[in-house]
A = this chain, B = another copy of it.
């Protein structure tokens, strides 16, 4: 799709991916509500296929290609959830997937990609090397590149999480998502615009990767410092996501790593579910600005649950001291 997704594009995306992804549950926690002083509805994308909302966008993008485009396969560079999501979507459609991953990517992520038949090409862990390697792979294979977030079909797919959240939770005053490259945030902004126009969308962002916060101030895409435990949010915005965010977002709240880890622990302990650090950023934002959210009905998209348990324990331990 070469245009900003319309209301109809979002509805079609939802219909298109429905049978390939989970309609994840929405959970609440009386004790978190008491702590936060508001009513929070958690959209549990940690229970999504491949453990993250990325399954939605990748599935929609692959399904939106023509059969001819798709036949030569799909390609991307990613060290994270999008890699698995794309490999899975390609496998479902019976086409090859070519994933460029940095040599530093954890073995478990590579294993996840291979489990879905993804063909991995390794490269140096720099953006330049990743892009160059991907260009080469695409040239060699003729595969269609599916960018992790700077792609309108991906954005339309990510929007479907918010559509389901509005359906399940009813009228919301706010929806919060984390922001990395801005795919989920852009999708959520569009979903709110079309399906719940009175709901304000706010982004949570790590202080050590606050490029969206700075981009909103400067009016141009700033580069992420990429320094946070929220390893899913280290990317900078793209030229498709930034304009949508600039136009529609009601605010960006930045939080420290310590606040993120505390919020993550709260979700583990009170909601009894496993979420990754990036996931906890919106709750950290709500707890940081309690007055703003006091007494409100708030939706939070819990983006994923792909965290190594040992790493999580280390994080919890690190803020005890």
Contact = CB atoms under 8 A, between A and B. Distances in A.
B309 A316 contact: yes
A46 interface: yes
Contacts of A47: 27, 272
A274 B305 CA distance: 12
A77 interface: no
What is the predominant secondary structure among interface residues of chain A facing chain B? helix
Contact of A268 (B27, B51, B265, B274): B274
Contact of A309 (B51, B268, B275, B310): B268
A46 B270 CA distance: 10
A273 interface: yes
A25 interface: yes
* Copies of this chain, count: 2
Contact of A25 (B25, B265, B310): B25
Contacts of A316: 309-310, 313
Interface string A265-302: 10011001111000000000000000000000000000
A87 to B, nearest CB: 15
B46 A272 contact: yes
Query: Which of A46, A51, A274: most chain B Cβ within 10 A?
Result: A274
Interface of A: 25, 27, 46-47, 51, 265, 268-269, 272-275, 305, 309-310, 313, 316
22 contacts: A25-B25, A27-B47, A46-B272, A47-B272, A51-B272, A265-B309, A268-B274, A268-B309, A269-B274, A269-B309, A272-B273, A272-B274, A272-B275, A272-B305, A273-B273, A273-B274, A274-B274, A309-B313, A309-B316, A310-B316, A313-B313, A313-B316
